[in-house]
A and B are shown apart, each in its own frame.
Chain A
Amino acid sequence: MRSRHFPLWTLLGVALVVALVVGSGLLSSSPPTAAQRASAIESVIRCPTCEDLSVAESSAPTAVTVRATVRQLIAEGRSDQQIEDYLSARYGSSIVLDPPASGWSLLVWVLPVAAGVIAAGLVVAVVARRRRRGTDVLDADVRGPSTDPVALAERRRFLTQSLSDADAEYLAGDLSDADYLSLRQRDLARLAALGPVATSADGPGAVTAGTPGSSELSAVSGATATGTLLDDPDRVAGDVDARVEPSVDLTDRARRRGRNKWFLVAAVGCFAAALALAVPVFSSHRLPGQSATGSIDLSPSQQVQRSLDQAAAVENQDQLGEAAQLYQSILDANPDNEVALAQLGWLEYRIGQQGASTTLLNDARAKLNQAAVLNPGDYAVHLYLGTLLLQLDGNAAEAVAQFTQFLADRPPASVVAQAASVLRQAYLAAGRPIPSQIPTV
C-alpha cells in the first residue's frame, strides 16, 4: 500500500506547491504600485463620519477627502507609516482601524500569539512527557495506583471498555494491525499495573467480562483481559505481547484495498473531463482584460482612459475642485499624460479666475504651455491657451495665433460651436477676418 500511494502524494505535493507559487504571484511580483498602496492604506483607515467602515468602503464625503489625501501623500513620497501618522495627528489614533503596535496596545497583538504558543507548547509538553515515562500506567496513576476502591473500579471499567472498543474498531477496519496490537498491549499492561483484583472488594465494581450481547467479543477480550492474565500474578506485564493474539482473522481485509485504486482513477478522469469542458466555457465570454473569475485586469492605458473619463464627467458636473484632484492624481501616476495636464491647466484657470488667484493663473498658463509642447496637435490646448491669452492678457494677436492652430487641428463642430463667441471676440479684437468654420452666433 505504501508504495502505491507514495508517488501519488509526491505528485500531489509538487503540483500544489507549483500551483500556489504561480498563483500567488511570487514569481512576477513587483513593488506595489501607488494604486495598490493607496488601496491597502485606505482599508485600514476608518471613515471619520461612519461607524466601523474603512474609507475604502465608504462613500461619505469625508471618506472621499481622506482617500484623495492619501493619494496625494503617496505621490509626495511618504511611507505608509508616515501617512497613518499624518492622519492620526489630526483625527486621533482611533482613526486607524489597526491598533498601533506600541505601548499598551501591543498587548492586543502579543496576547493571541502568546496564547497560541503557550497552547501548542502545553500540548507538545504533555505528549513528550507521556512518551518519556511510557504509557503502561494510566495518567491518573502516575505516582502509583490509587488505593481508593471506587477509583480503582472506575479505572478498570475504563480500561475494559477501551479494550472492547479497540476490538470493535479493528473489526470495522479502522485500526491497522500494528495499531490494534499496540493499543491492546498497552491497555492490558495498564490493567496489570492496577494490581490484582481484590476478590472481597469486588462488589459493585466487578469487572464484567466484556459487554453484554456480543458474545464473541466478550470471549476474546474477557479471556485475555481478566481470565488468563490476572489468574497468574507471577506473569510480568512485559510478557503480554507473547500471549496476545488478534481476535479477528486478518485475511479478509486485504480484499478491500483493491477497490480504492479504481475510485481514484475514476475521480481523476472525471475531473480531467470537467477541466477540458470548463476552461473553454469560462474563457469564451470575457471582455478584454478580464480574467476567468470576472475580474477585469485593465492594461495601464485602459486604466488611465477610464480615470480620464471619470474626471471629465465630474468636471461636467461643475465640481471643479474634485475634478482637479482627479486630474492631479492621474498626472501623479502618469506625468506625461498631456490630456490630464491640459485639462488640469484649464481647470486651474477657471478656479483661478473665480478666486482671483494669480498663483493659480500663472500655474495654469505654465501647464497649458507645457501641454502644448507635449502634443502640438491637440486642439483643446490651443483653445484653452487662446482663451487665456485673450481674457487674461488682452493679447488678441497671440490669441488669434492659437485659435488658428486650434482650427487647423480639425476640432469637432460641436466644440467650435461652443467656443464660437470667444473665437469671434478674438478675431474681431485683432482686426482679422473671422474664419468660415466659426458659425454665426
Chain B
Amino acid sequence: MTDLATPPAPPVPPSPPPTRHTARWAGLLILVVAAGLIAVLATRPPATVSEVQNPLVGHASPRISGTTVDGSTFSLPAVPGKFVVVNFFASWCIPCQSEGPNLVQFNFEHQQSGDAQLVSVVFDDSASNARDYQAKLGATWPTLADSGGDLALAFGVRESPSTFLIAPDGRVVAYIVAPVTAADLDQLIARAKATGA
C-alpha cells in the first residue's frame, strides 16, 4: 500500500540527450580535404610550361644507327667517344623551323673541334620531305630517316622538336623539348663536362 502521508518524490526532469555534432565534424573533414586540393591546384604551374620527364636521362642511350634520307647508312658506336646531339624534327613543325639555323651554327662550331656530333632524325614525317627541308637548310650532318619510327620509340619521343644530349660514354645527359639554340647546347655540354661526363 502506498503511504499517503509521504508526498511522492518530485519528478526528476530527464537529462537532455548529449548532442552529437556529426555534421560539424564531417563538414570540417570535407573542408580540410578541399583546402588541400585547392592548395595543390593553386601551386601547380600550367601544363604548357612544364617539361615532360623522360626516363632515359642518366641511362645509356639507344643505338643510333639506320638509313639516312639519302639512302646511305649511318651508325654510331655504343660508346661514341664524343658528345652527340640527337635532334628529332619534322619539316612541318614550326618550332623546328625556327631551331634549324641554330643547329647549323652549332654544327659549324663543333665540326672543327670534333668534340660533338649532330644527328637529326625524322619524326612523324616522310623521308623525302625531310630531305628537301634539310637541303634547304643547308644541313651537312647526317639525317636518319627512321621510317618505322623505331628510333623515336627507343628514345620515347612524343613531339618535335626533341633534342637529346649524349655524353661521350654513351649516357643520355639532357633532354630538351623546346627549340634549342647553339648557346643552350654549349651550356649543356659544359655542364656535363664539369660533372665528369
Residues of A within 8 A of B (CB): 48-49, 60-62, 64-66, 68-69, 88-95, 141-147, 319, 321-322, 325, 354-357
Contacts and interface: CB of A to CB of B under 8 A. Distances in A.
A90 B18 CA distance: 61
B155 interface: yes
14 contacts: A64-B149, A65-B150, A65-B153, A90-B55, A91-B156, A143-B17, A143-B18, A146-B16, A147-B16, A321-B148, A322-B147, A325-B148, A355-B73, A357-B73
A61 B13 contact: no
Interface in B103-162: 124, 147-150, 152-159
A322 B146 CA distance: 12
B37 to A, nearest CB: 13
B187 interface: no
Nearest to A95: B156
B181 interface: no
B56 A90 contact: yes
Contacts of A91: 55, 156, 158
The 9 closest A-B pairs by CB, nearest first: A65-B149, A143-B17, A90-B156, A91-B156, A48-B158, A321-B147, A321-B148, A144-B14, A92-B55
Interface of B: 13-18, 52-56, 67, 71, 73, 124, 147-150, 152-159
Contacts of A144: 14-15, 17
A355 B14 contact: no
Contact of A92 (B71, B124, B156): B156
A91 B150 CA distance: 13
Nearest to A63: B149
Given A62-B152, A355-B67, A147 B157 contact: no
A311 to B, nearest CB: 15
A66 B152 CA distance: 10
Chain B interface main SS type: loop
Nearest to B146: A65
B149 A147 contact: no
Contacts of A142: 17
A181 B148 CA distance: 77
Given A64-B149, A65-B152, A321-B148, A354 B14 contact: no
Contacts of B149: 61-62, 64-65
Contacts of B148: 65, 68, 321-322, 325
B181 to A, nearest CB: 25
A215 B52 CA distance: 75
B153 A89 contact: no
Contacts of B150: 65, 69
Nearest to A144: B14
Contacts of B154: 90
Nearest to B72: A355
B52 A49 contact: no
A66 B153 contact: yes
A419 to B, nearest CB: 25
A147 B13 contact: yes
Contacts of A60: 124
A61 B124 contact: yes
B124 A49 contact: yes
A69 B149 CA distance: 10
Given A60-B124, A65-B149, A355-B73, A88 B55 contact: yes
A426 B127 CA distance: 35
A62 B14 contact: no
B54 A92 contact: yes
Nearest to B150: A65
Nearest to B73: A355
A92 B147 contact: no
